[in-house]
Structure 1
Amino acid sequence: MSTIPVTAQVTDYATEFAGRTALVTGAASGIGLATARRLGAGGANVVIADFNIEGAETAAAELNAEGVKAAAVALDVTNPESVEAAVRFTVDTFGGLDLAVNNAGIGGPSAPTGAYDIEAYDRVIRTNLDGVFYSLRHELPVIEAAGRGGAIVNVASILGSTGFAGSPAYVAAKHGVVGLTKTAAAEYASKNIRINAVGPGFIDTPLLRGMDSAAYDGLVALHPAGRLGRSEEVAELIVFLLSDRASFVHGSYHLVDGAYTAV
């Protein structure tokens, strides 16, 4: 009976992404910025793509001051031409595309399904689901054509595996992101392109900081860990999935949720 030899590997986290270029959408703040910073700390060239171009430029300047090679580009993920332009910008600026994090998203209003505003529903779906499809649609051909392989992480949510009263559009979109991830992973695994998803719980990002204290405390209570997550905690999972340490991880959906979905 043959055995598979096990070789100990030591990863130099300061250089594990050296020579690679990453595009991170929704990276002007929150999870996106934390991920971009962590990728840059690992030696990657990073493109900060965001609808908020001023925020993206500020974030890129901060990373450059930290020694990261970073650039900013305006991005509207609901517009496929804008997504294509951001990918082209990445290639033109750094010579290629190896890694992508499709993180851009919005929350949307809260209302029961039977009373949900149709325009709001369309807006959430266009941003959170169509935007991920447009990103994959334009990232994958570029990564494949380079012939080096690569990795993509789509940011879904815990609500990609559960329901949440009052958020039909967001929940539908995030379930869709998980499905897109699995489908694309099956299509591109043979091309050495890995595609996975993460499902953050409620994370203490600018998106939540405008809530009143009672609503905020209510969200905290949903997590047995007794707190909301931090952007950096999600970024560590994303970066692991992008790294060669996850070389046999394809089409999976990983929760980082303080046990939210465990109860």
Structure 2
Amino acid sequence: MRAAVVAGLWCCLFAARVPGRALSVRHSTPAGTKIGGLDVRRVEVPLPPPRGDIWVYEVSDFGWWEEQEAEDNPYGCKLWPGAVAAARFLSSSSGLDALGLTSLGRQPRVLELGCGNGLCSLAAARAGMQVTATDISTQALELTAAAVQGQSLDSLCTVSEFDIGGDEALPEADLVLCADLLYDETLAAYTARRVWEAAMRGSSVLVGGDPRRAARQVFLHELAQLGVDLVFESSSAVALPAIGWKAKAVEVGILPLLERGAQCK
């Protein structure tokens, strides 16, 4: 049976565009670094005080970009602007309040879907949350695990394979993270269903992404079919000068924690 609309379910954005300014990330590239067979470089991302910087590994060979249909294409092993925006949001006190996590009275449990190189998961762990970073890509999981170990976050962040399009139910979590997953129509539809699943069981949801992603409308349409009226607006800007990106518009939307119970019929 079709799920009913959840009373009070909403999404909003919490960062305004700052004309002429954009958050920049920094690259440092140890020569000859390889993880999971990939040439990688370390990328440092500044988080809001007092968190400091966090770093991830990303694939540094751009030759793969020309073969985007290849099964071993490490698309998720790049750092994308939506992940930067989401990571900074959940690292801020206002973000934690908006997500309803500060009122839990205990350590929040966080699940990231399609973690890629793990930036959002690492940021959540740095903020003291108990995190499970998941992806279907072995390469992505290896990069995330290496960054977790390299920053001594092993006690707070575990890495696990999970298929967002599979039949397995979502692991329990207070917060479900999704960043930059709307680049493919099939994946966008899967993401919408997982967002709905998380909301139905009472989890908070944080979605970060580029408003120009091709499958964004598929994501919104699928949510609307499930009874969620989700509207994104422009938010902040992220610059990735190392790969020629100037200020890229990004957006961060949330579904706050809801009461568990009679939410569907």
Normalised to the residue count of structure 1, the TM-score between the two structures is 0.45
Greater relative contact order (Cα < 8 A, sep 6+): 2
Structure number with the higher strand fraction is 2
More helix as a share of residues: 1
The TM-score normalised by the length of structure 2 is 0.44
The structure with the largest alpha-carbon Rg is 1
